[in-house]
Chains A and B, each alone.
Chain A
């Protein structure tokens, strides 16, 4: 097993929102997709998924409906709200700015800035 990084604080919410943004999904599917997309590099703690979902729901970033799955079982499907969409865009943008800035610093040659 390769060493996995812990998820930086606050990024779990961002990832969940990104996944939910692709269409209504239930909790298990989100867990699956989290694992797939992060290619087992990032350790998404399973235990914090549901509290995070409920927190986002209470903040009005997600809403949820009970629907039948393809297999005919009832599950709670999450959707991104309008407010959630705005929040996702804002956080994505700021995340990208941050990573660019960090990689810029990390890529500096030892001699420093010319």
Chain B
């Protein structure tokens, strides 16, 4: 019989035990009667011989091994009864816990979805990400994306892994339906099978199709399938015109398919991309390579195979592959900035939960002190110490679990709103769901909180000197609990200091960053990417004419002040760092200092409101064939030329050709990387060059990158529709994408700071409130217990102020201890913030000092009320209470 069967059949077993013992006694009696004893005498002797029936039954029950469960059941019922007796107290505890556990679980759910969950591909633990690694590191590190030829060589050489390549592309779908700009990707044929994904409809690519000259085929997303073909089966075999090229649709991707957190509408084959750069091993389009470990193969084997290929290629192509190796790392989700934001918030909610638990613990200690007599009676009646501890813990764990259940409910309601409030977009947001890990975490946190706030009062309760407790009742217990409660309050204050100082630092950082000049006038500027009509992109002359036409049309729109083209917009994704040098004696490429290059049209300065410091900006005369010119920002001017005037000097920029570039002007620095991040950015120097001087062979690629920036009279979003219509009239397949205002972009660079500030500020406020409630509650309780003592003191001549001082001295002690420990913890937290939040500068003592001052002030204010009350004690009533 298993233990739970024994538990289940408790009643039956008890009956049988009873019957067995009765049989024993009756047999014994019969025997004694047969020996000649009086029946009543015999019965008595038989009973004595067997011993006390209840004790025997109890030890037999113990022998069943289910005793702990029966006790647990008893404790549970007792706990529920005690909780029901004081519903107000229980409500406060449960609510505190529900908020604490709910928010902790919420943050865990987010962390779990974004960071812990593996990718939703088949056996994700066997997937690896391959990268190129160079012997020498530059500012950007030593890891690089693959070149396509390197991928092809690796793929044909390795036996223990199946590598697949992919890269994001994008373009205009002009047929069927309205022209539309879509996200797309190019993959190698085996990509989907490496991930373990099959098309929902139709078939996967074949390796014969993955080469130049093969029939052009594409897989489309479920969403594009529904938009363009209304989800009809005859989409298979139909053609879509993408970037002017016709593709036969062979399959539809599963609706859930996302590539590295991005929705992709069209998938084409990398082998069919005939652009010459695809064949380059240097200055190549960067491609990502993922690989699946074959069955039975090991990573070590794969790595040694990669090393062999790398060596061979280094010998074969020394110019590009010298010192270049290939590395394989497990494919893991990357969250970037979101990761540290999540961890910071997770830490903060744990602190709030801890403070909540400490608060409840001190409430429980106060209650345990008043329940001291009850405990003492139970000890006197034979309850073991362990049994009492267990029972107290059961009570707090029950409270913890109730709080946990409520917390999970709260979390369910808060999860979606929270994700939608995330600054920017939360990576892998679709993966953030409640799963078994979340439940396990919530249960563990609830149990641990219950144990945490239960263990202190529980261990204390039966530890009293029994005799003294019985004699003196609750009052005698206060001495011991005073120290314990002081420790609890001090630790609450310490934790609150950490949150308050963090909030203070985030707040001052936010204020400082908001006041910074981004270098551009972000007001009333619209920026939008623009995909040229696929019909013009093959001819450089037509490209130039088309862009000019777009600029002219846009400028003619009512409400438009000026229009310019720009390839990398400040504070938006995308950048183009190039190496530069001050004379023709160039050092090796990897040692060149870097500067951001930005190709623009002459009106750019007016559109963005950038200040000209010296010289001039571009005009219509800076064109193909004229002297190559650049305008540099003040950072580059200082770095390259120090204090001497930069205008008229030359810079050698090897990526723009062997001839030097003439510096014709100096402009103000633009916080290209965002208001917060620019100071820490690796490449801060900037220069501008005229779009008109981009050579013909690069024009098509550049045109894919260019954006249009428009300065408007009024709210810039009002210009979107007219602009869209105006540009469309030239060719129906010319579309705007990524429409933003500069205000939105600037705001987005501070969104993370604002988000952290608001949340951690709210947590700090909660912590402050809880800590004040804690110190108030404890002082009120202790003062109440000390009323008779105050009475005696007053009878002996102490006045109200002495009593006030007496109580306040107690609170000052707790505050001092809390602030000291808290400051040490906060010091460590500051370093963490400095590392994880851009723009945090620690030199300024004001946030620290002011936050600690606020805490001390609030805590003193909270202790004043109980102290006042104590000082108004009337000696007569006090002594009468004694």
Of A48, A51, A54, A75, which contacts B23 at CB under 8 A?
A: A75
Docked Cα-Cα span, A50 to B16, in Å, equals 12
With known contacts A26-B23, A76-B16, A76-B23, A47–B60 Cβ distance under 8 A: no
Of B24, B51, B55, which contacts A28 at CB under 8 A?
A: B24
Q: Quick check: is A58 within 8 A (CB to CB) of the other chain?
A: yes
The smallest C-beta distance from B129 to any residue of chain A, in angstroms, reads 55
The smallest C-beta distance from B24 to any residue of chain A, in angstroms, reads 5
- Complex interface residues of chain A between 1 and 44 (CB less than 8 A to chain B): 26-28, 31
Of A31, A51, A54, A74, which contacts B24 at CB under 8 A?
A: A31
Q: Quick check: is B178 within 8 A (CB to CB) of the other chain?
A: no
- Complex interface residues of chain A between 63 and 108 (CB less than 8 A to chain B): 66, 73-76
Interface centre among B20, B51, B64 (most CB of A within 10 A): B20
Q: Quick check: is B50 within 8 A (CB to CB) of the other chain?
A: yes
B60 contacts A73, C-beta separation under 8 Å: no
B23 contacts A55, C-beta separation under 8 Å: no
Of A27, A47, A51, A73, which contacts B63 at CB under 8 A?
A: A51
With known contacts A51-B60, A58-B65, A27–B24 Cβ distance under 8 A: yes
The smallest C-beta distance from A25 to any residue of chain B, in angstroms, reads 12
Q: Quick check: is A46 within 8 A (CB to CB) of the other chain?
A: yes
A47 contacts B23, C-beta separation under 8 Å: no
Q: Quick check: is B62 within 8 A (CB to CB) of the other chain?
A: yes
A50 contacts B23, C-beta separation under 8 Å: no
Q: Chain A residues with Cβ under 8 A from B24's Cβ?
A: 27-28, 31, 50
A47 contacts B65, C-beta separation under 8 Å: no
Q: Quick check: is B21 within 8 A (CB to CB) of the other chain?
A: yes
B28 contacts A50, C-beta separation under 8 Å: no
Docked Cα-Cα span, A73 to B16, in Å, equals 14
Docked Cα-Cα span, A111 to B51, in Å, equals 48
The smallest C-beta distance from B548 to any residue of chain A, in angstroms, reads 94
A54 contacts B64, C-beta separation under 8 Å: yes
With known contacts A46-B50, A76-B16, A28–B23 Cβ distance under 8 A: yes
Docked Cα-Cα span, A110 to B49, in Å, equals 44
Which residue of chain A lies nearest to B24 when distances are taken between CB atoms in the complex?
A: A28
A50 contacts B56, C-beta separation under 8 Å: yes
Which residue of chain A lies nearest to B28 when distances are taken between CB atoms in the complex?
A: A28
B20 contacts A47, C-beta separation under 8 Å: no
A47 contacts B52, C-beta separation under 8 Å: yes
Interface size class of B (residues with CB under 8 A): 20 to 34
Docked Cα-Cα span, A27 to B49, in Å, equals 14
B51 contacts A58, C-beta separation under 8 Å: no
B59 contacts A27, C-beta separation under 8 Å: no
Interface centre among B56, B59, B63 (most CB of A within 10 A): B63
A27 contacts B55, C-beta separation under 8 Å: no
A50 contacts B65, C-beta separation under 8 Å: no
A54 contacts B60, C-beta separation under 8 Å: yes
A58 contacts B50, C-beta separation under 8 Å: no
With known contacts A47-B51, A58-B6, A28–B27 Cβ distance under 8 A: yes
Give chain A's interface secondary structure class: helix
Which residue of chain A lies nearest to B48 when distances are taken between CB atoms in the complex?
A: A46
The smallest C-beta distance from B69 to any residue of chain A, in angstroms, reads 14
B23 contacts A58, C-beta separation under 8 Å: no
Q: Quick check: is B283 within 8 A (CB to CB) of the other chain?
A: no
Which residue of chain B lies nearest to A76 when distances are taken between CB atoms in the complex?
A: B20
Q: Quick check: is B1 within 8 A (CB to CB) of the other chain?
A: yes
Q: Chain A residues with Cβ under 8 A from B6's Cβ?
A: 58
B20 contacts A27, C-beta separation under 8 Å: yes
- Complex interface residues of chain B between 3 and 20 (CB less than 8 A to chain A): 6, 16-17, 19-20
B64 contacts A47, C-beta separation under 8 Å: no
The smallest C-beta distance from B843 to any residue of chain A, in angstroms, reads 71
Docked Cα-Cα span, A27 to B62, in Å, equals 18
Docked Cα-Cα span, A28 to B21, in Å, equals 9
Interface size class of A (residues with CB under 8 A): 10 to 19
Interface string of B19-55 (1 = CB under 8 A from A): 1110110111000000000000000000001111001
With known contacts A58-B65, A76-B16, A50–B1 Cβ distance under 8 A: no
Of B26, B27, B60, which contacts A50 at CB under 8 A?
A: B60
B63 contacts A58, C-beta separation under 8 Å: yes
A46 contacts B49, C-beta separation under 8 Å: yes
Q: Chain B residues with Cβ under 8 A from A45's Cβ?
A: 51
Q: Chain B residues with Cβ under 8 A from A31's Cβ?
A: 24
The smallest C-beta distance from B46 to any residue of chain A, in angstroms, reads 10
The smallest C-beta distance from A20 to any residue of chain B, in angstroms, reads 15
Which residue of chain B lies nearest to A27 when distances are taken between CB atoms in the complex?
A: B24
Which residue of chain A lies nearest to B55 when distances are taken between CB atoms in the complex?
A: A47
Q: Chain B residues with Cβ under 8 A from A76's Cβ?
A: 16, 19-20, 23
Docked Cα-Cα span, A45 to B27, in Å, equals 18
Of B1, B23, B52, which contacts A27 at CB under 8 A?
A: B23
Q: Chain B residues with Cβ under 8 A from A47's Cβ?
A: 50-52, 55-56, 59
Q: Chain A residues with Cβ under 8 A from B26's Cβ?
A: 73
Interface string of B299-321 (1 = CB under 8 A from A): 00000000000000000000000
Docked Cα-Cα span, A37 to B581, in Å, equals 109
Docked Cα-Cα span, A26 to B26, in Å, equals 13
B21 contacts A50, C-beta separation under 8 Å: yes
Which residue of chain A lies nearest to B26 when distances are taken between CB atoms in the complex?
A: A73
Which residue of chain A lies nearest to B58 when distances are taken between CB atoms in the complex?
A: A51
Q: Chain A residues with Cβ under 8 A from B16's Cβ?
A: 66, 76
B63 contacts A55, C-beta separation under 8 Å: yes
Docked Cα-Cα span, A23 to B109, in Å, equals 62
Docked Cα-Cα span, A21 to B64, in Å, equals 22
With known contacts A47-B56, A76-B20, A58–B49 Cβ distance under 8 A: no
A51 contacts B20, C-beta separation under 8 Å: no
With known contacts A28-B27, A28-B28, A58-B1, A50–B62 Cβ distance under 8 A: no
The smallest C-beta distance from A84 to any residue of chain B, in angstroms, reads 15
Docked Cα-Cα span, A54 to B63, in Å, equals 6
Q: Chain B residues with Cβ under 8 A from A55's Cβ?
A: 63
With known contacts A28-B28, A47-B52, A50-B56, A58–B20 Cβ distance under 8 A: no
Interface centre among B16, B27, B50 (most CB of A within 10 A): B27
With known contacts A27-B20, A46-B51, A58-B64, A51–B1 Cβ distance under 8 A: no
With known contacts A28-B27, A28-B28, A50–B52 Cβ distance under 8 A: no
Q: Chain A residues with Cβ under 8 A from B65's Cβ?
A: 58
Q: Chain A residues with Cβ under 8 A from B17's Cβ?
A: 50, 54
A51 contacts B56, C-beta separation under 8 Å: yes
Interface centre among A28, A31, A58 (most CB of B within 10 A): A28
Which residue of chain B lies nearest to A66 when distances are taken between CB atoms in the complex?
A: B16
Q: Chain A residues with Cβ under 8 A from B51's Cβ?
A: 45-47
Which residue of chain A lies nearest to B57 when distances are taken between CB atoms in the complex?
A: A50
Which residue of chain B lies nearest to A47 when distances are taken between CB atoms in the complex?
A: B51
Docked Cα-Cα span, A50 to B55, in Å, equals 11
Docked Cα-Cα span, A46 to B252, in Å, equals 82
Docked Cα-Cα span, A14 to B447, in Å, equals 43
Q: Chain A residues with Cβ under 8 A from B60's Cβ?
A: 50-51, 54
With known contacts A27-B20, A76-B23, A51–B49 Cβ distance under 8 A: no
B59 contacts A73, C-beta separation under 8 Å: no
Q: Chain A residues with Cβ under 8 A from B50's Cβ?
A: 46-47
Docked Cα-Cα span, A48 to B62, in Å, equals 12
- Complex interface residues of chain B between 98 and 154 (CB less than 8 A to chain A): none
Q: Chain A residues with Cβ under 8 A from B49's Cβ?
A: 46
Given contacts A26-B23, A45-B51, A51-B63, 4 further A-B contacts (CB under 8 A): A26-B20, A47-B52, A50-B24, A74-B23
Interface residues of B (CB under 8 A from A): 1, 6, 16-17, 19-21, 23-24, 26-28, 49-52, 55-56, 59-60, 62-65
Listed by A's residue number, 12 A-B pairs whose Cβ atoms lie within 8 Å are: A26-B20, A26-B23, A27-B24, A47-B52, A48-B59, A50-B60, A51-B60, A54-B17, A58-B64, A58-B65, A74-B19, A75-B20
Across chains A and B, which 3 residue pairs bring their CB atoms closest together, nearest first?
A: A47-B51, A51-B59, A55-B63
